[in-house]
Structure 1
């Protein structure tokens, strides 16, 4: 078999497992075949992926309570493409068992698949005996025999797991190519004037800004709000400078008060995140359901004496559409608020203009 370049092999989810008896099937772990950045773009939320793996586990358990369990190591490899289509392969030391498992394969492929974007998501479910053994500690993720045979015949030398292998064993149909293309979000760089910051903006989305003294606001939304209307889906960034002078509170204290008030309101808190350094800021977040919307509040504050600033980033969409937009919001969180060189250059121009008067 030709040398395969593995993107990543991480044991990312360890499911608690169902209360199965000695017979049947119980998940020992789930192996993801792709890096975190790829999964953030393509995959739904972890809980959605976990629910799908639970459904696969339940179907396997039902099957193996009636049929003989396969020998270890045993993996159920599942690939899901845009358009909610899935295909399943089995890995077992006895290749003859694969034909016996054909009814299970059909049953698993008939399960409602998760929605993925831009490209396939691939994972393998291993039973407890496999996870406990040494066989699953290989450098590369488990590769089905069909994939290995296809790779051996391919003229391409360095095949990337899993995308290149899937292209060999499960080529995209015209419909699948169209489904994948429809989920691709093209981004452009948006400058946050007048501070010169930068943020990735979906190309088809709209940009507007509104500033008042030391308070700045930028809105990037799917709907056009130029005429003064509201928007359903988008991101709004509000930056406040001179907070300590105006409020008597540090930026962190000011934003923590915002968080506390928000949680006391008519919202359902879904999650929070720990404080984390991001550039010159420290970030935390609060995710809630608020009316018909699901909203992620990302809060940033400076900690030094050089800059007294706080930022609130509000990413929101209708609850039923959150999975579609969450990867976009995740990408937009990595923005730059200030371009100090631009600010200094603008200040120098203003001083020069004043000197000529």
Structure 2
């Protein structure tokens, strides 16, 4: 299956056009309205040859219309070995790989479906490793050319270092991926490869909920970002039941399900702004040799950085207030379920 770039629908490798000294980047998770699409446009505007990928190339129509033939689109399902192999076969040269595709699920850990949680890890953790391994030969060749390439970027999240209610599975998967980044950085440095982790804060709003109604059912939801959950309006009809019938949070069902649907309710950094900053950071040489190991961009990203060094008793309260979890606690206290302060 070929991309929808308008001029190449064969199964032959796509050969870069234009100046030979242009760097080539491939980005996963580029469905319209997501962070991957914003990155593709930012790299394109910076003069890169861009491969934008997604499970369904039809969902990159807006991206193609905005960029024209300057961006090549290819199908890529990070959970499918055959899809990954087909994509690799289409790419002749690669200087920068951006692992951006990810999945998200909001649900109390006490009620999480283990099979769904494993699916989150299959994409956010094993999918990243599988794609990285598959494109490694091309990236090694880029590093040998010493052309400024040989970069592996992985979009994780501030959620990898900040624990937030109802994001346990997502945060744990991003934390695991962050450790993969740290280890890969150690193992691949001798080959001239640079591994960069994108510690993304609140970026959006994007089309996450509008394009993936399965989030309302707490099912794994593919998205193109590594930040916090995206706020959305959901369905105009009565919302479906999200919490299991016998959930320990049942007394606060209305409040909890509203929080699960709305996700993060704070300030956002526009995706275009975030993407331009990330591209600039990736190409900024550190000590004239390498990009930074971690890039903290997005709303409240620096606060996420600071939280790493603060004791938990200083951060728990602000996190609960920011995520509106204090509302859940208050309802449970009134119902005398939560073992906090009694309410008369």
Give the TM-score taking structure 1 as reference length: 0.28
Structure number with higher helix proportion: 2
**Larger relative CO (CA 8 A, sep 6+): 1 or 2?**
2
Structure number with higher strand proportion: 1
**Larger Rg over CA atoms:** 1
Give the TM-score taking structure 2 as reference length: 0.29
